[in-house]
Amino acid sequence: MKPLPDSHLTDRQLVVAMVDKKDLPESQRSHLDRCSRCRQVLADAKAPLTRFGALARQHTPAPAHPVRIHAVKTGWLKRYGWRPGPASAMAAIALLVIIWASIVSQDPARLPVDNGLAVPADDTVFMAEVARLVDDPLPVQYRDLIGIDIADGDGDFMDFIVPPMTGDAPTTSRQHAKGVTPC
């Protein structure tokens, strides 16, 4: 809003003049220099603030000892112009390269191979274990938990727990959302 040539400064313009007169446009500064009413309103607005500043200086105690602000100590990374993020990324990459190089440099013939598969020494021992599990699949230490002697029972309970496999096992087809289809 541009003031008319014969109008006085608004309250907002007076606040701007109170903070820094140089922030006013040239036309408003010249009006403030020429108009005694605007200068008086500005002086009346500044007076309580000036008194408050004088009272604050008067009643503020002197510091017990001089206040020193210590310089911020920088780490060795910042001293050399490195930022922590990229420096830690470079350190992680260097560590990975060192580990990879130590793995690649080893002779694969010297490395032990353990694929976790235990090869039975005799097929007859393995087939005997399978036949025992077919006849009695529940280990001895778990028979006390169920409270029924399965070996002497008629097998109905075990058929309930582990249904017998008959024919093809049914599976759910994800291609056809129609239900269960044989494999």
pLDDT score, position 159: 73
pLDDT score, position 98: 92
How many CB atoms lie under 10 A from the CB of residue 73?
Answer: 7
Burial class (CB in 10 A: 0-12, 13-18, 19+), 16: middle
Using one digit for the tens of pLDDT, what is the confidence trace for 79-127? 666 677 777 888 899 999 999 888 877 766 666 666 555 555 667 887 8
Residue boundaries of the structural domains of the chain: 11-59, 120-163
pLDDT at 8 over 80: yes
Q: In terms of pTM, does the model score above 0.85? A: no
pLDDT score, position 115: 56
Region 20-26: mean pLDDT is 88
Region 12-30: mean pLDDT is 89
Using one digit for the tens of pLDDT, what is the confidence trace for 121-169? 667 887 888 888 777 777 777 777 766 555 555 567 667 777 777 766 5
pLDDT above 70 covers what percent of the chain? 62
Region 12-19: mean pLDDT is 89
Look over the chain and give the mean of its residue pLDDT values, rounded to a whole number. 76
pLDDT score, position 88: 83
